[in-house]
Structure 1
Amino acid sequence: MLLNDYLSKNVELLQGRSVIELGSGVGITGILCSGFCHKFVLTDHNDEVLKIINKNIKLHSCSEDTSPTSHGLVAEKLEWGNKDQINEILQKHPGGFDFILGADIYILIVFNSTFVILELCIRYSMDSMIITEASKHQMHLKEVLGTRTIVGNLEGVIYETTLE
């Protein structure tokens, strides 16, 4: 909810950009962003979830074209750390991505230098252990001012993470 709220209020950040989302769930963020992103790749490791994502992409399509790539949206299988799947995604999208989005990300993964900026929305409070671990991987975390809020009974905040 926090990530989608932030993106809907800051659409200029992603206008015309290519984006990949880690662990897209049913695809709500990608569908929200499809109106202003050039390309949005939704990923998940679960085949059943990928079927739901593709169905939601088709349902969202306003045109007669109901292919899974309507509106710049596409779903890809991605198990974090699976180098074959990462390489396959990079081959399909050789220009890389302007942004990587993720909600409820607790493990930081460095993919490839083609990913310039990593946006993290972490639903629970970020502790010093995660900040220290990110630093070990040459990642700098910076809280986006004004995004710290309570969602349900949990504290949420958006971090911008850059590769050093």
Structure 2
Amino acid sequence: MTITVNVNGQKHQVDAEPDTPLLYVLRNDLELNAAKYGCGLGQCGACTVMIDGKAALSCVTPLLVAEGREITTVEGLGTIDNPGPIQRAFIEKQSAQCGYCIAGMMMSAAALLKQNPKPSDDDIRSALRTNLCRCGTHMRIMAAIRRASELMEEAALPAATNRSAG
């Protein structure tokens, strides 16, 4: 069956069974490898992406559910040359140790910041409740999300007018 998915602003036609996990399509068909296969049960968050702006566990999301919806992966947040605010904050705060969970953490953070641009620490903890990190970088991840909020706020501010004395 051919199913059309919109990933990172691009439409793709995929020949797959409707119950194929979205994660398999992202990794195997579209070669977007940031989302990871962790548990396959929706319990670790390594596969987190956004669907219509909300965090979703792609290992348990059937492809048919994603059809016609906007899917965003870490690759859609920025590039190596021009990382987005969330990516920049995670790099700046050195939030990754092994890196396996980080893409999922970033996507949960992106969904949170889309809904709540200035989250409290409790809001951040709640948004990350489905994301596991065995390396123990939780404090750096929290700091990165707070920093991403600042970077996004700075980016939203109108450019300062440069008034020269004359």
TM bin (shorter chain):
under 0.3
Structure 1 or 2: more helix by fraction? 2
Between 1 and 2, higher relative CO (CA 8 Å, sep ≥ 6) is seen in 2
TM-score normalised according to structure 1 size: 0.26
TM-score normalised according to structure 2 size: 0.26
Structure 1 or 2: more strand by fraction? 1
